[in-house]
Amino acid sequence: QVHLVESGGGSVQAGGSLRLSCAASGYISITYCMGWFRQAPGKEREGVAAIYIGGGSTYYADSVKGRFTISLDNAKNTLYLQMNSLKPEDTAMYYCAVGGSDICLLVKGENNYWGQGTQVTVSS
């Protein structure tokens, strides 16, 4: 069983920055992907960024490329999302996920592990 706990959300003005963290525990294979998804009220959950644990390849949604950076500290079993130049449209609940290749494809998929989420609110 994998347990994920997100932190670091908050309220910022447009143009500001936040860093999200996801502390992971339990068995996580190096063949897995870890990623960040977000869900705004009334919208579907969408993939934001992901990283392949075994090789370190990263994947980003077009809407966040150049502004967000995903990273993984293997020693601390912690996933990060550095978010810069935040926009009001980035406002959402952000979720950490770990699982198969669909996470790296930024697809919600099936049989993946999820955290409880951390709220990010960006005001204009």
Distance of alpha carbon 60 from the chain centroid: 10
List, for residues 13-45, the tens digit of each pLDDT value: 999 999 999 999 998 888 899 999 999 999 999
List, for residues 41-83, the tens digit of each pLDDT value: 999 999 999 999 998 999 999 999 999 999 999 888 999 999 9
Instruction: Evaluate if residue 110 carries a pLDDT over 90.
Output: no
Kindly tell me the burial class for residue 75, based on how many C-beta atoms sit within 10 Å of its own C-beta (0-12, 13-18, 19 or more): exposed
User: Tell me, what's the pLDDT at 111?
Assistant: 86
